[in-house]
Structure 1
């Protein structure tokens, strides 16, 4: 079942951010654009490359008013230990949510049956708490923060320009489309 255009479900959890433990809930995601970035586990292989890529691009997301929340079924304590021991993870300034209960992972439908681990799921949540974008990949397929950034820009453009849509490979500043009867069969 697709979660596109659905409201995020309530949650409250402990998180690690910039040397501190904090409490984060679904209400913290509302009022701004948010990327919720699920990954299987701390201290693994593909995960740190993805999280480092997000860290390297975090300022670009922030300039767009987007907050990033990484989520695994590890605890906030594990996130801190990983942050303190890994040069790649040590770059992270965004919030790392602990989801040991699996509530958030289940809410977003990315819990691996019988494993207690999240799939690689990426969700873009708009300021009203509605999911506008989702992508789920298999275990060995890492994600690209630059491509995610492009999709965020497209979603923000469409949200602020009713009646326009962004075609494939759209980049900021390029032409968009205004769907109409005149365009049918002409693209």
Structure 2
């Protein structure tokens, strides 16, 4: 069953953010758009490249009203240690959630049970805490954070214009479609 269109399930976790430990719950995703980025593990190879890529677009996402949360099954202590020792991870300004209990990974259906690690999953969540988009990649395929910007813009557009839809390759300012009987078979 797809999680698209469902409410984020309850959880409570510790996170590392800007030199402090904080608590994050499903309520943290409400009131603004959120990107939740799951990755397998700290101190690895593809993961830091993805997290740095996400940091590179973080100012743009913030300007769009989006908060970013990265999640792995490591602890918040491990996130701090990685942040303190890696030049790449040291740049991260968004929230790094620890999920050693695997509750969040199970809630989002990205836990690789036999490995105790998360798949590479990206979730876009609306201000009501409802999942609007999901991307899941195999562990050896890194993601491109730039793709998120257009997906979020489209999600924000249709939320504000519920009678319209965004066609393939839609960009902000491009034409949208208004589904109707008149369009059936004409596209």
With structure 1 as the length reference, what TM-score do the two structures score? 0.98
Which whole-Å CA distance do the structure 2 matches of 1:137 and 1:168 have between them?
Answer: 21
Shift of 1:30: 0.8
Partner in structure 2 of residue 30 of structure 1: 30
Give the aligned CA root-mean-square deviation in angstroms. Answer: 0.7
- State the shift of 1:141 in Å: 1.0
Q: Distance in 2 between matches of 1:2 and 1:151?
A: 18
Which stretches of structure 1, 4 residues or longer, exceed 6 Å deviation after superposition? none
Distance across 2 between alignment mates of 1:174 and 1:85:
44
SS of residue paired to 1:106 = helix
Corresponding residue for 2:18?
Answer: 18
Query: 2:113 aligns to what?
Result: 113
Q: Which residue of 2 aligns with 1:151?
A: 151
Report deviation, 1:113.
Answer: 2.3
Equivalent residues in 2 for 1:45-60, closer than 5 Å: 45-60=45-60
Is residue 129 from structure 1 mapped to residue 111 from structure 2 by the alignment?
no
1:116 Cα deviation (Å)? 0.6
**Structure 2 segments unaligned to the other structure (5+ residues):** none
Number of aligned pairs? 187
